[in-house]
Chains A and B, each alone.
Chain A
């Protein structure tokens, strides 16, 4: 589907917000789902669509929140207004939506966008959001921020005070997105407190629609052979208990 870029907003040197027209896309966008975006011109080594979470959506538009990591995201982030980009989606399984609960959101770096969309869709929930990043430029609106260099919020990792937070408040549910080592640490702490956790995972993708089995993540099984699920089709959202963390 060709989607027109309506607006490109620079947040800082590394992060950009891209707002698209969703004309022609009938499916509803749900938090945790993603799209794949093809670059506006053919670039060697960057011909596959780039998977990006949905950051916001309404009846006529959807917005992506992009961090420049390599060549692909750099070109995307600099796409100019009115460009038509080839987009597939919305794809994948969404977060479970709750009403009237106490909820903890935990994100790291570019794990921020899917939780932002989730926050908008959690009805009548009491939400605490903790977010961490390397530098001040990786920090976005939240309740408690952490940076590795201490340049913004608390100095440390997003998990630094997690036990204190959990000792002080009861949560019905938690959601997390960020780098794998962070998710692994979060999952292990929340397990101690018996709080259900949904995580959104990232894996290298080719098709994005469940065909190629390239985006495998190992899940718990009672078979002696390992069991792999597809991040693009069976996820990207999984129950943390299901995942075998490397």
Chain B
């Protein structure tokens, strides 16, 4: 069935991709990567990043708390060691990256531009900006606008800005990214969360406040996607608690062109392929296309 979809410059065989940080080449044993709409890789930074001390994880009633701290080997090692693992697949590769200054964002992007097999970029602006009192880049519309404009000048490839939901008004940030020249937007990154052992008072996560994901955040993600889709005309890569094809349909009705599967990969590493096959059957049965339903919630 025709599951075809697109962002601004890229066309995909289906709307299912992987949420950054929840998927890697280790999944080859469980998923045929050629079946995916796209692959989004774990966020990389310029230099190696150690990540946070353990415990980094805690499972809540219907979600997951994580405090990985962007552990990654740095852009050079990513290019020589990780990229080749994906080059045998036809699936478009979208590379997520981050930095702690605008200059460093530009350096990482320039370095990645030398790699032909990268189809697009997802810019993770949820991390602390050392030039702005450690506030996340993504909470300041002016900063998002400037940064997007600088990155836009460096690449012709699909430039996706990934928004954090931990802001007063996500629409302001979305507009700032669009006006800066973003091709498309990804939303949402994790909410802020915490869990405490009630018997001792000890935080379950070493860094205490951390990222909250999984099915518990789906209503929040849907509301954000819907608001942005209503407010501006820009393709949306949606994520936040999608676990099955019905969740994916909700996101498409809310306005998403692509949907990323994150935490659900940890419950079942083969889930992305199952969602694609279920979605395909559903589209056949009801004679749907993406254009027929995208943004058509009423």
Residues in A lying within 8 Å of B, measured CB to CB: 38, 44-49, 86, 88, 203-207, 209-218, 223, 225-228, 233
Contacts and interface: CB of A to CB of B under 8 A. Distances in A.
A233 B50 contact: no
Interface of B: 21-24, 26-27, 29-30, 42, 48-62, 64, 66, 68, 71, 263, 265-269
Greatest chain B CB density within 10 A among A86, A88, A217 is at A88
A213 B26 contact: no
A225 B50 contact: yes
Given A44-B62, A227-B50, A228-B71, A213 B267 contact: no
Contacts of A203: 54-55
Given A206-B64, A206-B66, A207-B269, A213 B54 contact: no
A223 B266 CA distance: 31
Given A47-B267, A216-B53, A209 B27 contact: yes
Contact of B60 (A45, A204, A207, A215): A45
A45 B195 CA distance: 12
Given A205-B57, A212-B21, A233 B26 contact: yes
A244 B236 CA distance: 44
Greatest chain B CB density within 10 A among A206, A210, A212, A217 is at A212
Contacts of B49: 225
Contacts of A218: 53-54
Nearest to B67: A214
B54 A211 contact: no
Contacts of B68: 212-214
Given A210-B26, A213-B71, A48 B66 contact: no
B61 A204 contact: no
Contacts of A210: 24, 26
A211 B267 contact: no
A91 B293 CA distance: 41
B266 to A, nearest CB: 4
A44 B66 CA distance: 17
Nearest to B55: A204
A211 B23 CA distance: 6
B61 A216 contact: no
Contacts of B26: 207, 209-211, 233
A46 B59 contact: yes
Dominant secondary structure of chain A at its interface with chain B: loop
A212 B53 contact: no
Contacts of B50: 225-228
B269 A88 contact: yes
B215 to A, nearest CB: 9
B57 A215 contact: yes
A204 B266 contact: no
12 contacts: A47-B59, A86-B268, A209-B29, A209-B269, A211-B27, A211-B269, A213-B21, A213-B71, A216-B52, A216-B56, A216-B71, A228-B54
Nearest to B30: A209
Nearest to A221: B50
B57 A214 contact: yes
B94 to A, nearest CB: 17
A217 B266 CA distance: 20
Nearest to B66: A214
B122 to A, nearest CB: 17
A207 B265 contact: yes
Nearest to B215: A47
Contacts of B30: 209
B241 to A, nearest CB: 12
A95 to B, nearest CB: 22
Given A206-B266, A209-B26, A209-B269, 5 more contacts: A48-B59, A212-B21, A212-B57, A216-B52, A228-B51
Contact of A212 (B22, B61, B62): B22
The 10 closest A-B pairs by CB, nearest first: A214-B57, A44-B61, A210-B26, A211-B24, A206-B266, A225-B50, A226-B50, A204-B57, A207-B266, A213-B71
B98 to A, nearest CB: 15
Contacts of A49: 267
Contact of A211 (B53, B62, B265): B265
Contacts of B57: 204-206, 212, 214-215
Greatest chain A CB density within 10 A among B23, B48, B59 is at B59
